[in-house]
Amino acid sequence: MASSAKKLKVQNSKDTREFQTWWTDKFGVINKGDKAVCVLCSGTMVCRTSSVKRHFETNHKSICQKSEAEQKELIASALKDRNKQSTSINTINTSHTSAASYTAANVIVRHSKPFQEGEFLKEAWLACAPSLFADFENKNKIIQRIKDTPLSRNTIKERILKLAENVT
């Protein structure tokens, strides 16, 4: 009889560790994998009501002391800002690096080179970049963009196939 009570307890603890959607409005946390992430400070915590509540009350005392309507308004604006920021950053970086990847694939196919040349190009760009952009203020950003550009053999193959579909 004792073992069945223990099993029940394990099942209940598993249920309480799932993200609860009402935490977003009340405490300003969103679900990210198996963790809860605070939209106010980007802190992570386990998915447990007590942990989420404790984080909110200790790290965001100034918000916690405001009225419930003001809390909801601040949390909603932080959530809106987070969504806008992550969307714009991902869109900008992805579009530029994808465009560069398509351009490299086009050059590779025009010169009848193997698809692995994309990796060679990336390595060459990364080797040249520090000296080429030494006097640029945003040199590190440029190098990071080169690192983020997808030029693997499979990516080049996919890019070439997509480019071939669009040829008329």
Which residues in the chain come in under a pLDDT of 70? 1-16, 84-93, 168
SS3 annotation, the chain = CHHHHHHHHHHHHHHHCCCCCHHHHHHCEEEECCEEEECCCCCEEECCHHHHHHHHHHHCHHHHCCCHHHHHHHHHHHHHHHHHHHHHHHHHHHHHHHHHHHHHHHHHHHCCCCCCHHHHHHHHHHHHHHHHCCCCCCHHHHHHHHHHCCCCHHHHHHHHHHHHHCCC
**pLDDT tens figures, 99-108:** 999 999 999 9
pLDDT of residue 150: 92
Closest by Cα among 22, 58, 26, 62 to 43: 58
Please enumerate in sequence order all residues whose Cβ is within 8 A of that of 127, keeping only pairs 6 or more positions apart, or say none: none
Closest by Cα among 67, 77, 62 to 28: 77
pLDDT of residue 3: 55
pLDDT of residue 65: 86
**pLDDT tens figures, 105-145:** 999 999 999 999 999 999 999 999 999 999 999 998 899 99
Q: What are the extents of the domains in the chain?
A: 12-84, 91-165
pLDDT of residue 14: 47
Q: Are 17 and 47 in contact (CB under 8 A)?
A: yes
Q: First-to-last CA distance in the chain?
A: 74
pLDDT of residue 74: 86
Please enumerate in sequence order all residues whose Cβ is within 8 A of that of 64, keeping only pairs 6 or more positions apart, or say none: 56, 57, 71
CA dihedral 74, 75, 78, 79 (to 10 degrees): -150
Residue type, 118: G
